[in-house]
């Protein structure tokens, strides 16, 4: 068994594509990759662990092998954002319960969130189930437009979501 760095481990598991604030008071400045509420996507997802793939997969619906194995279906929001600190497109893994806060803190005030820079601040210790997040605009986005961010990373929506959730046929999923 060989050692690997935590960064290597996280990259292998796909964690480097996720937005994360680990400690109380930690914050990050981001640009949401949404131009309107119609850009918000929800996935019926399973989290699987196999030799071939570990991570989220789309539920296949009727006859889904993951459902057949009793793996819970989760309604997930994978919120795409450009993290100014890491200079990467990252996804904030949230349940559908978070949609209310996203609408209240972001869309109700900023119909095109990609035109603004937002600061997200964590309020809660690691693993605290009562952790909350404060989301507030800190300025107009005069750096990169929505299209410029996607071009910088040579990607497009919805293809960029493949970084955090994969789609497999029922046969492929069954083999996993």
- pLDDT, one tens digit per residue, over 18-56 is 999 999 999 999 999 999 999 999 999 999 999 889 999
Pairing outcome for strands 54-58 and 165-166: parallel
- pLDDT, one tens digit per residue, over 70-81 is 999 999 999 999
The two structure tokens encoding residue 85: 């600190």
The two structure tokens encoding residue 126: 């690691």
- Which among 91, 106, 110, 96 is positioned nearest to 20, based on CA atoms? 91
Q: Which residue has better confidence, 167 or 1?
A: 167
Question: Is pTM, for the whole model, over 0.95?
Answer: no
What is the pLDDT, as a whole number, of residue 14? 55
pLDDT band of 4, cuts 50, 70, 90 = confident
What contacts 38, CB < 8 A, 6 or more positions away? Answer: none
Rounded CA separation 144/41 (Å): 22
């Amino acid at each position: 068994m060989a050692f690997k760095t935590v960064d290597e481990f996280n990259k292998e598991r796909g964690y480097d594509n996720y937005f994360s604030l680990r400690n109380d008071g930690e914050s990050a400045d981001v640009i949401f990759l949404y131009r309107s509420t119609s850009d918000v996507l929800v996935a019926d997802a399973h989290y699987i662990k196999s030799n071939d793939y570990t991570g989220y997969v789309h539920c296949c619906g009727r006859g889904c092998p993951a459902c057949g194995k009793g793996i819970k279906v989760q309604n997930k929001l994978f919120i795409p954002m450009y993290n100014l600190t890491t200079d990467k497109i990252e996804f904030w893994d949230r349940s559908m319960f978070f949609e209310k806060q996203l609408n209240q803190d972001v869309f109700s005030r900023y119909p095109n969130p990609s035109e603004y820079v937002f600061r997200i601040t964590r309020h809660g210790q690691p693993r605290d189930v009562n952790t909350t997040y404060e989301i507030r605009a800190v300025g107009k986005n005069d750096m990169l437009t929505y299209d410029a961010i996607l071009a910088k990373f040579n990607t497009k929506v919805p293809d960029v979501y493949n970084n955090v959730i994969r789609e497999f046929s029922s046969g492929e999923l069954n083999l996993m």
